[in-house]
A and B are shown apart, each in its own frame.
Chain A
C-alpha cells in the first residue's frame, strides 16, 4: 500500500482529523480522546512498533504525541525502502489529563506511559502498573510541567 492510499484510508476512520504529510514518510493526524483506543487497535497490523509517547505541557492544556513506525514494509513510500511513521496528536484538558492506555496493545508503550505519568502527570486508564519509573516514590509533583517550581541557586543564563 502506498502512503497516499493509506492516508485516504485513514480519513474514513472515526475521530481522525487534520491528516497531513509532514515529511515524505511521516503522516501526522489529530485524534480525539474518546476514539483513540479503537483507532490504535485498527492500525496495529501495519504499525507493529510503538516508538515514542511524548507529553507536552501547552499551558493550559496537555498534548500527547504518539509515534508509531512500520517495520514490515506493508506501507511504502513510492518505490524507496523508507520506513513509514505515524504521528498522532491527542489534546487533553488540564483538569482531567487522562487517556486510554495502549500498553495492552503494544508492550513497548508500557514504560513510555509510566514516564509520561511520572514526569507530566498524565493518567492512563487501564494501564497494568501505573507508578513512577524515574523519580523516587513519594516525590512531590510532576517536574516537566511548566508550573513546577524548584530551587535554582544561580541566576539564569
Chain B
C-alpha cells in the first residue's frame, strides 16, 4: 500500500518538461474556507482526485487496467497518427513513403494536420534555434500518450550541420525521443522499420490507460 501515492498536484498533469510559471502562481487556490469562491475547474479536479484515490486504494484501478490494457495497446500500436509536419529532406522521403510504391499507410498510419489529433511526432530535419520553441509547442499540444521519432542524422545529432551557429545538436536535447532512425536521408524502408520498432516499444511498455495521470 505504501507504494501507491495520493496525487493531487495539478502540475503533474502538464506535459513533460514544462515548469510552473509566475502566471500559474497568480491563479492559485482561493483562500481556505472561502467555499463560494470555489471555481468549477477546481471542483472537477477535486472530484477527479477523489475518484482516482478511491480507485487506487481499493485496487479497482489495477483491475480495470489489466482488462483494458491489451485492448488500448492494440489500438495504439496499430494506428499511430503522425503529425503532418515536414522540416527538410526526410520530409520528402516521408511523403514518398506514403506514395504507392512503398505505401506506409498499410501500417495504419494516418497523417493528421492538427497536433491535437496526433500521437507521433516525426522530427525529420535539423532543428534551428528559431524553430525550437515552435516544435516544443507542437509537442506539448499533442495529447498523451505520445511518442517522438527522430528521423535522420540532423534530428539525431545535428548531422551535417554539426558546426552551425543556428542548428540545435539533436532533438533529444529538448524533448524525449523514443525511436532514432539513422540515415541521410532516411529511406522509406527505414522509416517503415522505425514505425515497426515503435510498435514493438509500445507493446513492451504497455502503459495503463484507466485514470492515468
A/B: CB atoms within 8 Å of each other: yes
Please count how many residues in chain A sit with their CB below 8 Å of the partner chain's CB atoms. 8
Residues in A whose Cβ lies below 8 Å from that of B130: 135-136
Residue A97, interface by CB 8 Å = no
Residue B72, interface by CB 8 Å = no
Residue B166, interface by CB 8 Å = yes
Residues in A whose Cβ lies below 8 Å from that of B162: 153-154
Residue B163, interface by CB 8 Å = yes
Consensus secondary structure, chain B interface = loop
Residues in A whose Cβ lies below 8 Å from that of B35: none
In chain B, residues 145-171, which have Cβ atoms closer than 8 Å to a Cβ of chain A?
A: 162-163, 165-166, 169
Residues in A whose Cβ lies below 8 Å from that of B166: 135, 143
In chain B, residues 99-155, which have Cβ atoms closer than 8 Å to a Cβ of chain A?
A: 129-130
Rounded to whole Å, the gap between the CB of B143 and the closest CB of chain A is 29
Residues in A whose Cβ lies below 8 Å from that of B129: 136
In chain A, residues 9-33, which have Cβ atoms closer than 8 Å to a Cβ of chain B?
A: none
- In the complex, residue of chain B having the shortest beta-carbon distance to the beta carbon of A136: B130
* B165–A143 CB distance below 8 A: yes
Instruction: Write out, one digit per residue, whether chain A residues 131-157 have a CB within 8 A of any chain B CB (1) or not (0).
Output: 000011000000100001010111000
Residues in B whose Cβ lies below 8 Å from that of A154: 162-163
Most buried by A among B129, B163, B165, B166: B165
A150 CA / B165 CA spacing, docked (Å): 6
Residues in B whose Cβ lies below 8 Å from that of A136: 129-130
- In the complex, residue of chain A having the shortest beta-carbon distance to the beta carbon of B131: A136
A150 CA / B166 CA spacing, docked (Å): 10
In chain B, residues 172-205, which have Cβ atoms closer than 8 Å to a Cβ of chain A?
A: none
In chain A, residues 109-126, which have Cβ atoms closer than 8 Å to a Cβ of chain B?
A: none
A148 CA / B169 CA spacing, docked (Å): 20
Residues in B whose Cβ lies below 8 Å from that of A135: 130, 166
- In the complex, residue of chain B having the shortest beta-carbon distance to the beta carbon of A144: B165
Rounded to whole Å, the gap between the CB of A134 and the closest CB of chain B is 8
Rounded to whole Å, the gap between the CB of B174 and the closest CB of chain A is 16
Rounded to whole Å, the gap between the CB of B173 and the closest CB of chain A is 12
A154 CA / B157 CA spacing, docked (Å): 13
Rounded to whole Å, the gap between the CB of B127 and the closest CB of chain A is 13
Rounded to whole Å, the gap between the CB of A112 and the closest CB of chain B is 20
Rounded to whole Å, the gap between the CB of A73 and the closest CB of chain B is 38
A127 CA / B163 CA spacing, docked (Å): 33
A109 CA / B162 CA spacing, docked (Å): 32
> Which residues of B are in contact with A by a Cβ distance under 8 Å?
129-130, 162-163, 165-166, 169
> Which residues of A are in contact with B by a Cβ distance under 8 Å?
135-136, 143, 148, 150, 152-154
For the complex with contacts A136-B129, A152-B163, 11 further pairs of A-B residues with Cβ separation under 8 Å are A135-B130, A135-B166, A136-B130, A143-B165, A143-B166, A148-B165, A150-B165, A153-B162, A153-B169, A154-B162, A154-B163
Closest 4 CB pairs of A and B: A150-B165, A136-B130, A152-B163, A143-B165
13 contacts between A and B (CB under 8 A): A135-B130, A135-B166, A136-B129, A136-B130, A143-B165, A143-B166, A148-B165, A150-B165, A152-B163, A153-B162, A153-B169, A154-B162, A154-B163
